[in-house]
Structure 1
Amino acid sequence: MSSSNPDNVEEHSWSTGLCGCFDDVKSCCITFWCPCITFGHISEILDKGETSCVMNCAIYMLIYCLTSCACLYSCCYRTKLRQEFRLKEDPCNDCLVHFCCMPCALCQEYREPKNRGYNVEKGWEGNARQHSEVAMAPKVEGGMKR
């Protein structure tokens, strides 16, 4: 167990590797040209709709334009994603992964919820609506009869 796992909860491997861009070329291209979009999608899902994709995208761009260190913001969401899905801190510390290879890290983080059944592009509300429709029993007209 890693030092970032104080509760000794079993940690799992990521569904794809850090350099698994061939699994999803579309998201890799978007991330390469405009990483704030990918970050916005990831953060909205992880924040469970409390913040919007657009707002997080704007914050990311503002930090990037003012400091060129958006990795300090985005690495926090990598940690949040790992905790949410109980993932190993792999291949190294979250901040170091984002500092050295932020596009690859964002792509991997985008693929993880996608591989777990989320449609990341729909955002939190779209996924919540989809999952509630699946979980709800069909409505019976006129009540139950024998």
Structure 2
Amino acid sequence: MYPTSVNQDYGKFSCEGYHPGPMKQPPYNVPHYASPAGMPVHSSATTNTVAWSTGLCHCFDDPANCLVTCVCPCITFGQISEILNKGTTSCASRGALYGLLGVTGLPSLYSCFYRSKMRGQYDLEEAPCVDCLVHVFCEPCALCQEYRELKNRGFDMGIGWQANMERQSRGVTMPPYNAGMTSWFRL
């Protein structure tokens, strides 16, 4: 009936039934409220998020990336999207699509979805305002901030997802990211 496997998060499942094992606590407490239909609803007001490692306007913390992003933002966007998509799409394909959307004037609407995806993957706060507004009014700064965030989390942005994973499997570990040390990155 149930496959025999061990899942550290939920315990052991076997043919005999469910056997509770050690449970991991979620990274945050989200109270559940009953909706009128009786379905649980998460309160978004109490969700714990972490701050970005650098501010939106700290573009000159990485002057080389700032220059590349100002001259050709499709390169920076391609690098960000390859890491966020975990290598399922290439830097070149996403960068080219971003460049084609640049002709229409809509690349910021496309890139704001990647900012939302990044915030979801790393539990980042939606700051300084809604993702689409950040990208519509501060596109280069938003791309630079996202690039720096991934770089500060240990990714070598110039080599792509696959090379980062190969580097990690060889034992070249990525430095740990500590949300409490964000002030060091804001110098």
Q: Which TM bucket (shorter chain)? A: 0.7 to 0.9
Q: Cα distance, 1:95 vs. partner?
A: 0.2
1:14 aligns to 2:57 (yes or no): no
Instruction: Give the whole-Å Cα distance in 2 for the aligned partners of 1:117 and 1:74.
Output: 22
Determine helix, strand or coil for the equivalent of 1:40.
helix
Count of aligned residue pairs for this structure pair? 132
More helix by share: 1
Q: What TM-score comes out, normalization by structure 1 length?
A: 0.85
Gaps of 5+ in 1: 137-146
Partner of 2:179: none
Partner of 1:56: 94
Partner of 1:116: 153
Determine helix, strand or coil for the equivalent of 2:158.
helix
Identity %: 52
53, 71, 76: which one aligns with 2:113: 76
1:27 aligns to 2:69 (yes or no): no
Supply the AA of the counterpart residue of 1:12.
Answer: V
Partner of 1:92: 129
Q: Cα distance, 1:16 vs. partner?
A: 0.2
Q: Cα distance, 1:61 vs. partner?
A: 0.8
CA RMSD, 1 decimal: 1.9
Structure 1 segments, 4+ long, off by >3 Å, are 5-9
Q: Cα distance, 1:42 vs. partner?
A: 0.2
Gaps of 5+ in 2: 1-29, 31-42, 174-187
Higher relative contact order (CA closer than 8 Å, sequence separation 6+): 1
Q: What TM-score comes out, normalization by structure 2 length?
A: 0.67
Partner of 2:11: none
Determine helix, strand or coil for the equivalent of 1:108.
helix
More strand by share: 2
1:38 aligns to 2:76 (yes or no): yes
